[in-house]
Structure 1
Amino acid sequence: METVGNPGRGRGSRLPLALIAAGAVVAATALTLLAMGRVPICTCGVVKLWEGDPAGPGNSQHLSDWYTPSHLIHGFLFYAATHLILRTRPVGVRFLAATLIECLWEIVENTDAVIGRYRTATVSLHYYGDSVLNSASDIGAMMLGFLVAARLPVWLTVLLAIGFELATAIAIRDNMTLNVLMLIYPLDAVRAWQAGG
């Protein structure tokens, strides 16, 4: 557990500045996504707090959906990775590094090549990319996950990650692990199970 909010001395002392810098990075990411042609919000014209249909046209268009837990887990993983790789750096610097990585992923994920890969290699046949709102919300979920991991004991963070993965696997037959697997090495058996076969 680390000090993440102390504006004085200590390892967390750069977090407020890192939060401001991270906000600027997220804003730049949103502008980049808009320049790439991503829609600002769902083309349905409304903004929902939750979209529960993973196969519907509103998936990846609103503030949260079944893939939000994956982004919380990104935060857990980025916290662990930066703790190992950048151990001597303040938590604020590591938080900013994690934000940069997540923002880069959101940009790459919304390229035509990756969208096409999702549509051909996974069961996400109707995936056309994220709205800018959804991408920003996904980045926010990663940030929250990072800060939670900085505060909680490792064992509890691991249990949360396992719980999120199991819950989404049961609810929608998908989760972060399966998503990565199917993007990198699609398996027909997994695709059939995800499709309900």
Structure 2
Amino acid sequence: MKQGAKLWPHKKAWKVSLVLFLVAIAILFAMDRPPLCECGSIKLWHGVVESSENSQHITDWYAPSHFTHGLIMAGVAWLLWRKWKLFGGRPSRWALPIAVFVEAAWEISENTPMVINRYREVTISWGYSGDSIVNSAADIGWMTLGFLIALRLPWWASVALGVFLELLALAVIRDNLTLNVLMLLYPIDSVAAWQAGG
């Protein structure tokens, strides 16, 4: 989005974002989340969704969803601060720390027993046991990258990129951000059956 320059974080915003990231990691450690995959290794890419190693490494088929979170949050920030002049537009360069806070809060809540059990019950993620801390940290990183890229792209390119990533994941793993949210909030049996290959 061409207007994204005014949302680009300043030095203090980068520092606050880093602190929020480190606090999230500390909370995940306090929650006794595994630091890395129980397999004992850290992979740059793990592409098998129905696997005990899913959501345990740096990148997997759900990384595009987190990248898309960043695209969406940049769009929301642009609407709030550039179009609606929220708070007179002044806090706009704090949009990245706010996005990191939201993503970190999701990573923490996603790894609570309540949400893990919800994933197991109603989504394609049967047997899901939560993320490793390495994966959660990478997910926050993917969101940050999506956010920053969205600030450099025209709005239509961000939308096109988000749609492409959604369709790619849908075609390859029968899941994506849209279906993940749908199935968490309002499970549909026919969608679950299709995701299972039925």
Question: What band does the TM-score fall into relative to the shorter chain?
Answer: over 0.9
Aligned-CA RMSD value: 1.4
Amino acid aligned to 2:80:
I
- Pairing 1:144–2:148 present: no
Deviation per residue, 1:13-65 (Å, 9 max, x gap): 75222112111111110010111110011111100000100110111100010
Amino acid at match of 2:37: C
- Find the aligned partners of 2:115 and 2:171 in 1 and give their Cα distance: 25
Which of 81, 85, 88 is the aligned partner of 2:80? 85
| Mapping for residues 19-30 of structure 1, pairs under 5 Å | 19-30=14-25
Displacement after TM superposition at 1:134 (Å): 0.4
Using the TM superposition, give the Cα deviation of residue 125 of structure 1 relative to its aligned residue in structure 2, in angstroms.
1.0
- The alignment status of 1:174 with 2:169, answered yes or no, reads no
4+ runs deviating over 6 angstroms: none
Shift of 1:89: 3.5
Task: Give me the TM-score of the superposition, normalised by structure 1.
Answer: 0.93
- Out of 67, 76, 83, the residue aligned to residue 72 of structure 1 is 67
Would the aligned equivalents of 1:121 and 1:183 in 2 still touch at CA under 8 Å? Answer: yes
What does 1:3-152 correspond to in 2, within 5 Å? 4=5, 11=6, 14-87=9-82, 88-152=89-153
Deviations 1:66-101 (A, max 9, x none): 000001110011111112223313543011111111
How high is the sequence identity, in percent, across the aligned residues? Answer: 47
Distance 1:13 1:108 in 2: 27
Q: Distance in 2 between matches of 1:3 and 1:117?
A: 36
Distance in 1 (CA, whole Å) between partners of 2:49 and 2:10 is: 35
C-alpha contact 1:13 1:90 (8 A) present in aligned 2 = no
When you count helix as a share of all residues, which structure comes out higher?
2
CA–CA separation in structure 2 for the residues paired with 1:144 and 1:56? 26
User: Structure 1 residues 41 and 180 mapped into 2: Cα distance closer, same or farther (>3 Å)?
Assistant: same
Deviation per residue, 1:144-179 (Å, 9 max, x gap): 101011000011111100100000000000000000
- The one-letter amino acid of 2:72's match is L
Preserved contact between residue 122 and residue 191 of structure 1 (Cα < 8 Å) = yes
In structure 2, the CA distance between the partners of 1:125 and 1:184, relative to structure 1 (3 Å rule), is same
Structure scoring higher RCO (CA < 8 A, sep ≥ 6) equals 2
CA spacing shift, 1:48–1:102, aligned 2, 3 Å: same
Gaps of 5+ in 1: 5-10
Q: Which amino acid aligns with 1:85?
A: L
Contact 1:16–1:92, Cα closer than 8 Å, also in 2? no
Cα distance change on mapping 1:153 and 1:186 into 2, 3 Å: same
Residue 111 of structure 1 and its aligned partner are, at CA, apart by 0.5
Give the length in aligned residue pairs: 191
Q: 1:140 to 1:91 in 2, by over 3 A?
A: farther
Name the CA shift for 1:51/1:13 in 2 (closer, same or farther; >3 Å).
closer
